[in-house]
A and B are shown apart, each in its own frame.
Chain A
Amino acid sequence: MRASLALFAVSALFLGLSCKKTPEKTASQTEVTAAPSPPPASGDVRTISPLPNGEWTLPAGDAANTRFSPLARIDTSNVKGLSVKSSFSTGITKGHEGQPLVVKNTLYVVTPYPNVLIAVDLTKPGHPIKWKYDPHASARAVGVACCDVVNRGASYADGKVIYNTLDAQTVAVDAETGQEVWKTKTGEPDKGETTTMAALVAKNLVLVGNSGGELGVRGKLVALDVATGREVWRAYNTGSDEDCRIGPDFKPFYPKDQGKDLGVTTWGPEQWKVGGATIWGWVSYDPDLDVVYYGTGNPGPWNADLRPGDNKWTISIIARNRSDGMMRWATQLAPNDAWDYDEINENVLFDMKWGDRMRKLLVHPGRTGFMFVLDRETGEMLAADKFEPTNWASGYDLKTGKAKEVPEKRPHMGKVTKGICPSSTGAKEFAPTAFSPRTGLLYVPAHNTCMDVEFVDANYIAGTPYLGNSTKMYPGPGGYQGELIGWNVAEKKAAWSVKEEKLPLTGGVLATGGDVVFYGTMDGWFKALDARSGQELWKQKLASGIVGNPMTFLGPDDKQYVAIYAGVGGWMGAVAQPTISADDPYAALGVVGAMKEIKHLTAPGDVVYVFGL
């Protein structure tokens, strides 16, 4: 518990002081972290849950989802000297999303299904495996997982590594021995429900969402007790106020989100029962406010003509009390979503000077193509700016929180609506951003993909897809498909960007105190950029395409290391699998049209890499 208490201890990491307050191990290292240039004038930033000392105990490193590590031994001057210090194959050929944890000189890897937990000894040469834990997840879940059999990572707390398995169970494993401590079932694979999201520990609770928005699953967040696995509360994202845990604490900022039982009344009869709004990405936690934040996925079916109404609380950002799950506020970003714009992307929490005062911000890089900046105390929308070519809406009205939708880009039954941008995979997928308080930049692994859509009939059959949609995706304006954007949050625009021409980016980003940004491409390049200029400093081709997220830690030798998974897969990356044909551009829910080149650029096969100087 000590580690998690330390993790949630609030630190006043003002930018100007960060070089002195950075929680590094040694004095000599503190000198290395001195900022080489002053931060942007508008960028007064305070991080809210800094990383523990050289470790990585939560999916995003910190509970605020910044993916910023203050470690600075690898910096812009020496990063070109990185080389592989160890690597091993997991023997699995499915998409290896997520990231390892490092706790007390042990590195923990969760594989895609069958979701084996592998503990690696960092104290010995070659980093040998200490033990493996197999949860024996049911193969039944494989057939109902929409977009490969991925897992997005574990949390460490109270001596346990805690993660979700594809068959909708959550397991806690003794971090020393590899013995199972508890296992709790939270969903029903027979009804299409799986769990792929990164389990987040917040104080004594582990927060678990679900997947299956393509199979008519009803989205929910469940809180389990870290010590026992017992369910403490369960909050649905559709249905009655009681089911959604909406009560007197609920104070949505905008009238559009106010009213009784909106999770029922904004749907056709009974449709909320199979209405989606799943949580398959990331949960954030603010230890000061004791509030958790997450975004919800698409409504079901994809065919919007079949479910008239706003369809709350799909495509929404939701804030809940950690302790009892009661909803604090919510804002729906796209009513009656017609594009499968899941807003399950991460919510990055930090405090920053906004206008004339410090505000508690929540930054949400939307699949919708808009970079949302919200006040996380109230849900007020402070900014919504396009970061990739986007034409389904011209913008957002910040007074009402509503999108200014472009009617001719809304698909319907019986006709093909062409040239909608972004595609369903979003201007950015689940692959998480990183935010550096040193630069004020959010580093966004983005897509530039558009689509043609026709709605067709949909038929709910439990355990099968519930879509009603025919989609073909293809590269967007400019022809490039991926882009790493250094987004200046305060100035609401890109400071720089690096185009990735061939494929979208579906791997995450890491930012460090050495002002280095790490990310990987789906054709297998692992890259390091200068966090301030975007200049490429180093790159290495890995064994397979990258859909995982880099992380960094201090080894037992007090040196800094960077770890990354190679192993292409996921929704878009699965086109590299031999079981998907290149001659059906509509296949794999429409992504093949944009992705068929991947078959020549990489191949599946999961490998864990550790890099160092």
Chain B
Amino acid sequence: MCSASDRRRALLRWSAPFLLCALASACENGKHESMALAEAPVSDRPVGPIPGPQRDGGSIDNPYAGDPIALNQGRQYFLRYNCAGCHGDHAGGGMGPSLRDGDWIYGGSDSAVFASIAEGRAHGMPAWGTKLPADVVWKLAAYVKSLRTDQEPSPPDQTIPPPPKMP
């Protein structure tokens, strides 16, 4: 039986060449579609609209999902790599969109969130995959997916204080 940490290592090994895989499959997609045009237009693959770049390989679950230590680390990375500056201190939005509103512009599966962080998105989201190792991206993705759940580390304090008294 494969232990949780073994599974995690295996998934990390898989996710390191994630971008290359994605690129390769994108190329294959192109080939496949041109063939499809030349031959019979038969495919059970939906043609869209699907948010974000389409890829084969199915989805992959986040190895850190629900791991409280990893979620805390993800929260720290969220602050350290300036995600908070754009998306809001607790990801409620600002320069970048809210990540806690249940709307996933580029898909909300674990692998779609990973891809958004790693590859970047239009209108300002940097491609962090060029700067951060995959396990950091996975932990960021795990933190993002934990928002507004019972597992969210350091959820925002909703209390609005009474107005201060002036001297």
What is the interface of chain A, defined by CB distance below 8 A to chain B?
139-140, 142-147, 214, 389, 391, 394, 418-421, 450, 452, 456-457, 459, 461, 463-467, 470-472, 474-479, 574, 577-590, 592-593
Contact = CB atoms under 8 A, between A and B. Distances in A.
23 contacts: A139-B122, A140-B124, A142-B123, A143-B95, A143-B123, A147-B95, A419-B164, A457-B79, A459-B82, A461-B131, A464-B81, A464-B85, A464-B126, A465-B86, A475-B163, A577-B93, A580-B97, A582-B92, A584-B98, A585-B156, A587-B90, A587-B91, A587-B98
B157 A472 contact: yes
B94 A589 contact: yes
Given A464-B82, A465-B82, A476-B163, A584 B90 contact: yes
B56 interface: no
B158 interface: yes
B167 A394 contact: yes
A478 B163 contact: yes
Interface string B123-167: 111100001000000000000000010000000111011011111
B8 interface: no
The SS class assigned to the A binding surface is loop
A66 to B, nearest CB: 31
Contacts of B158: 583, 585
The SS class assigned to the B binding surface is loop
Contacts of A391: 164, 166-167
B96 interface: yes
B126 A450 contact: no
Contacts of A144: 95, 124
A175 to B, nearest CB: 32
B137 to A, nearest CB: 15
A166 to B, nearest CB: 12
Interface in B78-112: 79-82, 84-98, 100-101
Contact of A593 (B81, B93, B98, B160): B160
A456 B81 CA distance: 12
Given A463-B126, A580-B98, A590-B89, A476 B164 contact: yes
A391 B163 CA distance: 12
A586 B93 CA distance: 9
B163 A581 contact: no
A583 B148 contact: yes
A587 B160 CA distance: 14
Contacts of A593: 160
Contacts of B123: 139, 142-143
Given A465-B95, A584-B100, A477 B90 contact: no
Given A459-B81, A459-B82, A584-B90, A143 B96 contact: yes
B161 A452 contact: yes
A420 B87 CA distance: 24
Given A464-B126, A580-B98, 11 more contacts: A140-B124, A142-B123, A457-B79, A461-B82, A470-B89, A474-B161, A477-B166, A478-B163, A581-B100, A587-B88, A587-B94
A441 to B, nearest CB: 24
Given A142-B123, A452-B161, A586 B80 contact: no
A412 B90 CA distance: 20
A141 to B, nearest CB: 9
Contacts of B101: 578-579, 581
B166 A461 contact: no
Contacts of A579: 93, 97-98, 101
A464 B86 contact: yes
Contacts of B89: 470-471, 584, 586-587, 590
Contacts of B126: 463-464
4 tightest A-B contacts by CB?
A143-B124, A465-B85, A584-B92, A587-B92
A441 B66 CA distance: 60
A272 B154 CA distance: 33
A478 B101 CA distance: 32
Contacts of B161: 418-419, 452, 474
B88 A580 contact: yes
B92 A581 contact: yes
Contacts of B81: 459, 461, 464
A143 B156 contact: no
A148 to B, nearest CB: 9
B100 to A, nearest CB: 5
Given A139-B123, A581-B98, A586-B88, A459 B80 contact: yes
B163 A585 contact: no
Nearest to A452: B161
Nearest to B163: A477
A589 B166 CA distance: 24
Nearest to A416: B157
Nearest to A460: B82
Contacts of B124: 140, 142-144
B136 to A, nearest CB: 13
